Amino acid sequence: MKTHVLAITFSLAAGAVGAQGFLGADVGVDLTRNTGDFTQGHYYGSATYGITPSLIAQVDLGYTDYYGVSFGGAQTIGGHLGYQLSPTAAIGGFWGFEDWPQGKYQAYGIEAKTNAGAIAGNPLTLEGYLVNYSQNGGSYSFAGGGIDAGLQVSPASTLNLGLFSGGGDLDNDRVSIGVNYAVGNGLNVGLEAGHVFQPGSDENTFGLNLSYQLGNGATFKERNFTSFLPGL
């Protein structure tokens, strides 16, 4: 299944390269170790297409699996419709669908991304979102929001900080810090450490990301449970 999802994503990206309006794509894998003695693998691909000079559309495909515990895997698909305010800023709305063994879920909300100037001469990028997440035909739901900041500390290195807060049936908050290194030719490697605050107990996560960027990459990040709380 993982190979099938990535094959579809590669085909989507490759087909879009020759199409007018193609902006970029990303394909990658996130491996996140939870201190509860299991590892989560998330395999994904995203591609962005410019419908007009200002209006953009993005498609996300993904698959999440677990190793060391029998949670079962999930297939995810998502879409974004955005408006390019400038070459470095965009706003939009998103929708996502997830098929887990425990049920089917959907996420929708609004998002924004911008280059927010510089700190000590280092370019700063901010990306934030508000989300409503619910189970189809079930009672589980939560509302939340997150923000990701990336500070480019060298031509190839970016320092990342992430924050997420959820309410309703998900009373979890998460903070993370990481670093991303552009190896070259579109290949990127990232490391991340996260801490999740939960009622009665906290959890720590440690992640490794490998990704390949085509063109300018996807405009927005994925919006699904795995992206909100990696390693859970």
Topology of the domain comprising 2-228: Porin (2.40.160)
Q: Quote the CA–CA distance of 223 and 60 in Å, as a whole number.
A: 9
21 vs 187: CA distance, rounded Å = 23
Written as six digits, the tokens of 80 are: 């974004």
> Averaged over 14-30, what is the pLDDT?
72
Average pLDDT, the chain: 91
**Quick count: other Cβ atoms within 10 Å of Cβ 121?**
6
Q: Which amino acid is at 135?
A: Q
> Which residue in this structure is represented by tokens 């320092």?
159
Does the reported pTM lie above 0.85? yes
113: Cα separation from own chain's centroid: 13
Q: Calculate what percentage of the chain has a pLDDT beyond 90.
A: 79
How high is the pLDDT of residue 8?
A: 45
Name the band, by pLDDT with cuts 50, 70 and 90, for residue 9: very low
Higher-confidence residue of 133 and 137: namely 133
**Are 28 and 211 within 8 A, CB to CB?**
yes
Provide the pLDDT confidence category of residue 29 given band limits of 50, 70 and 90.
very high
Pairing of strands 74-86, 89-100: antiparallel
- Cβ(40)–Cβ(64) under 8 Å? yes
Is residue 25 within 8 A of residue 46, CB to CB? The reply is yes
Count Cα atoms within 13 angstroms, Cβ side, for 97.
Answer: 6
Report the pLDDT averaged over residues 84-112. Answer: 95
Q: Residue with structure tokens 């085509």?
A: 214
Look at residue 132 and tell me whether its pLDDT is greater than 90: yes
Both tokens of 42, joined, read 């998330």
Tens of pLDDT along 165-209?
A: 999 999 999 999 999 999 999 999 999 999 999 988 899 999 999
- When pLDDT is cut at 50, 70 and 90, the band that residue 37 belongs to is confident
Please compute the mean of the pLDDT values over residues 58-66 and round it to a whole number: 97
Query: E-assigned strands of 68-186?
Result: 74-86, 89-100, 103-119, 122-135, 141-152, 157-166, 173-184
pLDDT of the residue at 3: 42
The whole-angstrom separation of Cα 192 and Cα 39 is 14
Residue 70, pLDDT above cutoff 90: no
* 90-102 confidence digits (pLDDT tens): 999 999 999 999 8
CB-CB contact of 221 with 96 (8 Å): no
Every domain of the chain and the residues it spans: 2-228
Per-residue pLDDT of 116-125, as tens digits, reads: 999 999 999 9
Q: How confident is the model at residue 71 (pLDDT cuts 50, 70, 90)?
A: confident
More confident residue, 72 or 110: 110
pLDDT band at 130; cut points 50, 70, 90: very high
Whether the per-residue pLDDT at 17 is higher than 50: the answer is: no
Cβ-in-10-Å burial (0-12, 13-18, 19+) of 32 comes to buried
Residue 231's alpha-carbon distances to 30, 79, 173, 196, in angstroms, are 10, 23, 13, 10
